[in-house]
Amino acid sequence: MEPYTSLNLIREDLKSGKITCCELVEYYLKNIEDHKYLNAFLEVYTEEAQETAKKVDVKIKEGTAGPLAGLVVSIKDVLCHLDHGLQASSKILEGFQSQFNGTAVQRLIDADAIIIGRTNCDEFAMGSSNENSAFGPVLNAIDNERVPGGSSGGAAVSVQADMCLVALGSDTGGSVRQPAAFCGVIGLKPTYSRISRHGLMAYASSFDCIGLLAKNVDSIAATLEVIAGKDDYDSTVSQKPVPHYSQNLTPDSEYKIAYIRETMEAEGINEEVKAKTVEAIEKLKSNGHQVDAVDFPLLDYLLATYYILTTAEASSNLSRYDGVKYGFRSPHTHDLESMYKKSRSEGFGHEVKTRIMLGTFVLSASYYDAYYTKAQKVRRMIRDETKKILSKYDFIVLPTSPTTAFKLGEHSEDPLEMYLADLFTVQSSVSGLPTISIPNGKDNGGLPIGLQIVSDDFQEEKILAFSNYLINLN
Amino acid sequence: MIDTSVREKYTAVIGLEVHAQLLTKTKIYNTDANAYGHSPNTNVSVITLGHPGTLPKLNKKVVEYAIKMGLACGCDISREQIFDRKNYFYPDLPKGYQLTQDRTPICMNGHVTVFPKNGEPRDITLNRIHIEEDAGKSIHLAGETDSLVDFNRAGVPLIEIVTEPAIRSSEEANSFLTEVRKLVRYLDICDGNMEEGSLRCDANISVMLKGSTTLGKKVEVKNMNSIRNVQRAIDHEIERQIAEIEKGNTIFSETRTFDAATGTTAGMRTKEELNDYRYFPDPDLSPLIVSEEWLKEIEATMPSLPNDLLAKYVKEFNLPEYDAQVLTDTKEIAAYFEALCGKTSNYKAASNWVMGPVKSYLNDSNENIEDLSVTPENLAEIIQLVDESKVSFSAASQRLFPAMLKGDGQSALATAESLGLIQDSDSDSIGELIDEVLAAFPDKVAAYRKGQKGLIGMFMGEVMKKSNGSADPKITNELLRNKLA
């Protein structure tokens, strides 16, 4: 079987009888088996996927199949899937199974998508390299000595190595976009609140988004239109109607695009990444689009704002993992206090503990105003300033990451260096704006480079159409 | 006991924090049943248990109930509701934080009027009323090393009513709680049951020398499961603090627990650590806006409140304050009385009937007034029969009312007729008065019968007095002679 990248094509071939869902599933299962060493999956639902494929094949014959029939999807280990393991790649949830389907997962199932397995990630989605997993790192399929990015590293590799068509990940500060860039695939973080967070394990609630990865825009569009939209279980989800993204992928003839001057001059930006970004800008210009450099002086405050607010929320969100009700409880305890301390010390990994402590600190009474309150104000400014640019331009384009995929262990000594990997992705996260990362060529070593496209709130339709256009332009 | 003269030197400063569990059908952030007394861990969904991936969704009834309490206390209602996380670890707290309102309580200011036993009515200013969720219950079984947790109560909606440190005595505290309990019951938002913990009270108590402007260090007292115990705990704590100060010791801020068996408080064995709850706005709940329209809707559903009714009974019905207090003691009695006063204009008689025969029957029978078979209409009819002298009060209260309690649905008139209680002529009522007079003077009756016929004048005078001069002298004289014959 030739690798598929487009759900449209799969649908056509299913309809014509050229392939069956069973064959598709076998194809992906074989790829998963062949790429086991990449460590992308924590669990593969072999029999279940085969069973579902059979049922969907029958439905296709009967003409009763749902809109995502033929879609084989992986889900990141932070998405609740009834009676399936759920650990956020952490020891603290040892043996835990979700007792419900999250909204996105339920909608996938209802639409006849086939869930093939759950993917590895950084513990509690905290990380930019997928090295913070209790189940070991995920390897980049292009270069096995390099990281796939994180935190949705398993998700990115599952698409990269053709182990499924679409992957659901989560993006709090770039966790879908950055691994997409490192792996040479497309990664979309929709507008905050576009997809219900019911059934998405919380890292930083006011930032967390379910994101989608695939090799083709139409596959992302078709999946997004199924899983997005209002939901009774999430009071923060947007009530806005969901457009038919997959039907509206025709681009406009002329766009107004901004790029942020400061990003191109940022410390640590790799020359090749910069050159490819400039190349993309030039190409857009030569195709008749207006591209201007704009200033964004708040760039220096992005990472601080992001890390103060996300760690604050995380310190509270992760309090529930205490060894009392479920998951891991340390065997070395003799009373309540030692149960808490030991269970959490032994159950959480180093990065997670670092962030819990950081968050606890910034929320503590003596420092609250200096850090949390101030960061909230700066967050508002960042959003306002970014939206101001977007009131004049259709998109902002910027590199996804300052570098291409780095080597395993390369940044493990200095967390600050690792945090710099998020420099270009956190702006949209802090602002809640929809952003996609699309492949933008490769460096001299053949490592993929990503380009981000940011638009105003709920402009996913526009982003997808533009991305489709830009990818085909390359 | 400390000496009264010593006690007199000090003023007590008391603030109360009252938690009331709201009577919503479901919990505050999900659709689990809000019910007391079910088997442990039966009303627990993944949301109550704080499983990964779950989110709260606010039950709007909770906001409505809290607003009702705020309106009843004359509070300002906040129009934008933000919910905060209060972070701390405890096994009965499934999420590791409690959802509460720190910076934006739903109700601010306002007051509750107290009527202390030995003092003047006074308004106690409220600091705030806010919404929060209850925690589960830790259960420590004797002989077991492991503790158990029941999460049925986790997520039960609460309002916390916080007073300013404005209460001056245990009697005022008692009255405050009585009034709060009355209010929540009138509003039908909480059952007010302190024994089952649906109404709970913590007291912050300090003492200072009279005339001082610096408040003493406050001590928080917990674990009082009745209004009486709150009063006892406060009394004890005031005495204890004064005694300590008199001994030259200093009072330090601490949490103490009340022991109902001994009537004393004892320091809890918690470490002297500063709790930092790291409050911050919950990002999982969007701010809730209370619109003008919604507020108006809630206002429209407000029932009559005890103090409004009390004022009405005193001012419009000319009833004594005591009567008005008793009649408004519970919503149900007040409702009965209200209905009764819609059918009769003899308010004093109505009050006497409700406070007398009706209440004593309810006490004896343990029946609720809502279930009373003598309806307000029936009772109004009885009052009318007495007013029209068709039935004497004694016959009405001793025979007619009891007969109607057994209730065969007959009207009061029909029942009185079938019991033969109707006075069909004046002579009947005069005869009753004569009987009473003769019964009161057995010696004089005997003397008359022995020949002192002149006593007839004295008997006539007594009967006339009893009838307020309305008895016909001719008929009276004739009846008297017959009865004395």
User: What are the pLDDT digits (tens) for B293-311?
Assistant: 999 999 999 999 999 999 9
The residue written with tokens 């996804």 in the block is A400
> Which of these, A421, A311, A352, A415, lies nearest to A124 by C-alpha position?
A352
The per-residue pLDDT for B273 is 57
**Is A198 in Cβ contact with B54 (below 8 Å)?**
yes
Please indicate whether, in this complex, the C-beta atoms of A363 and B46 are within 8 angstroms of each other. no
List all residues 6 or more positions away from A257 whose beta carbon is below 8 Å from its beta carbon: A281, A284, A289, A290, A291, A292, A393, A394, A395, A396, A397
- Let me know if A175 is a catalytic residue: yes
Q: What is the pLDDT of residues A163-203, one digit of tens each?
A: 999 999 999 999 999 999 999 999 999 999 999 999 999 99
> How confident is the model over B18-34, as pLDDT tens digits?
999 999 999 999 999 99
As given in the structure block, the two tokens for residue A349 are 């990994």
Contact A319 B89 (CB under 8 A): yes
Query: Mean pLDDT across the stretch B69-88?
Result: 96
CB nearest A319 (choices: B54, B87, B285): B87
**How far is residue B53 CA from its own chain's centroid?**
43
Which H, E and C letters describe chain A, residue by residue?
CCCCCCHHHHHHHHHHCCCCHHHHHHHHHHHHHHCHHHCCEEEECHHHHHHHHHHHHHHHHHCCCCCCCCCEEEEECCECCCCCECCCCCHHHCCCECCCCCHHHHHHHHCCCEEEEEECCCHHHCCCCCCCCCCCCCCCCCCCCECCCCCCHHHHHHHHCCCCCEEEEEECCCCCHHHHHHHCCEEEECCCCCCCCCCECCCCCCCCEEEEEECCHHHHHHHHHHHCCCCCCCCCCCCCCCCCHHHCCCCCCCCEEEEEHHHHCCCCCCHHHHHHHHHHHHHHHHCCCEEEEECCHHHHHHHHHHHHHHHHHHHHHHHHCCCCCCCCCCCCCCCHHHHHHHHHHHHCCHHHHHHHHHHHHHHCCCCCHHHHHHHHHHHHHHHHHHHHHHHHCCEEEEECCCCCCCECCCCCCCHHHHHHCCCCCHHHHHHCCCEEEEEEEECCCCCEEEEEEECCCCCHHHHHHHHHHHHHHC
Average pLDDT score over chain B: 91
B481–A contact, CB cutoff 8 A: no
- Give CA separation, B284 vs A238, A354, B133, B231, in Å: 13, 23, 15, 40
B15, B204 Cβ separation under 8 angstroms: yes
Nearest CB neighbour to B87, from listed A198, A316, A368: A316
From A89, A170, A175, A238, active-site residue: A175
CA–CA separation, B80 and B85 (whole Å):
17
Note which residues in 276-315 of chain B have CB less than 8 A from chain A. Answer: 276, 278, 280, 282-286
What kind and span of H or E run contains B113?
strand B111-114
Q: Chain B closest CA to A108's CA: distance in Å?
A: 17
Query: Is A94 an interface residue toward B (CB < 8 Å)?
Result: no
A116-131 tens-digit pLDDT: 999 999 999 999 999 9
Mean pLDDT over the full length of chain A: 96
Average pLDDT on A409-424 reads: 82
Interface contact B60, partner A, CB < 8 A: no
Nearest-angstrom CA–CA distance, A15 and B460: 116
Answer for the pair A360, A419: CB distance below 8 angstroms, yes or no. Answer: no
pLDDT at B271 over 50: no
- Interface check for A88 against chain B (CB to CB < 8 A): the answer is yes
Q: Which CATH architecture has domain B427-484?
A: Orthogonal Bundle (1.10)
Range of the domain at A170: 1-474
A6 is catalytic: no
Q: Tell me what the mean pLDDT of segment A222-241 comes to.
A: 97
pLDDT > 90 fraction of chain A, expressed in percent and rounded: 93
Quick check: B51 and A79 CB within 8 A?
no
Are A316 and B97 within 8 A, CB to CB?
Answer: yes
**Whether A316 and B51 lie within 8 Å, measured CB to CB:** no
Whether A151 is catalytic? yes
A315 to chain B: nearest residue by CA? B87
Q: Contacts of residue B85 in chain A, CB cutoff 8 Å? A: 316
Asked if A336 is an interface residue toward chain B (Cβ–Cβ < 8 A), one would say: yes
Q: How far apart (Å, rounded) are the C-alpha atoms in residues A23 and A10?
A: 11
Identify the DSSP state of B167: B
Q: Given this model, what pLDDT does residue B269 score?
A: 60
The reply to whether A168 touches chain B by the CB within 8 Å rule is: no
Q: A326 falls in which pLDDT band (50, 70, 90)?
A: very high
Residue in A90, A98, A151, A246 annotated catalytic: A151
Which residues, in sequence order, are CB contacts of A222 under 8 Å at separation 6+?
Answer: A7, A8, A67, A68, A71, A245, A246
Residue A235 sits at the chain B interface (C-beta within 8 Å) = yes
Q: Where in chain B is the domain with CATH 1.10.10.410?
A: 427-484
Residues A460, A466, A467, A472, Cα dihedral to 10°: 150
CB-based contact B53 A100, cutoff 8 Å:
yes
Angle, helices A217-227/A103-110, rounded to nearest 10 degrees: 110
Q: How far apart are CA A260 and CA A385, in angstroms?
A: 12
Task: Band the pLDDT of B407: cuts 50, 70, 90.
Answer: confident
Q: Tell me what ipTM this predicted complex has.
A: 0.95
List % helix, strand, coil for chain B (3-state, nearest 5): 40, 20, 40
A169 DSSP β-pair partners: A211
Tell me which chain B residue has its CA closest to the CA of residue A81: B53
Terminal C-alpha separation, chain A: 26
Listed as own residue / partner, the contacts of A14-17 with beta carbons closer than 8 Å and 24 or more positions apart are: A14/A60, A14/A69, A14/A70, A15/A60
Q: Which of B278, B282, B286 should we substitute to test contact with A (largest number of A Cβ atoms within 10 Å)?
A: B278
Q: What's A264's domain CATH number?
A: 3.90.1300.10
Residues 27-46 of B with CB under 8 A from A: 46
Question: Using CA atoms, how far apart are residues A248 and A266, in angstroms rounded to an integer?
Answer: 36
The secondary element (H helix, E strand) that includes residue B84 is strand B84-87
Q: Look at residue B426 and tell me whether its pLDDT is greater than 70.
A: no
**Residue A288 one-letter amino acid:** G
Q: Confidence class of residue B425 from pLDDT cuts 50, 70 and 90?
A: low
Active-site choice (A76, A215, A276, A462): A76
- pTM of the full structure: 0.89
A338 at interface of B, judged by CB pairs closer than 8 A: no
Distance to chain B for A312, nearest Cα, Å: 9
Q: Do B285 and A200 touch (CB under 8 A)?
A: no
- Cα–Cα distance, A345 to A353 (Å, whole number): 8
Look at residue B454 in the predicted model and tell me its pLDDT: 84
A309 touches chain B (CB under 8 A): no
Angle at A99 between CA A352 and CA A36, to 5 degrees: 60
Residue B395 tokens, joined: 């016959």
Quote the minimal CA–CA distance from B46 to chain A in Å: 7
The answer on pLDDT for B420 being more than 80 is no
pLDDT of B202 > 60? The answer is yes
CB A194 within 8 A of CB A152: no
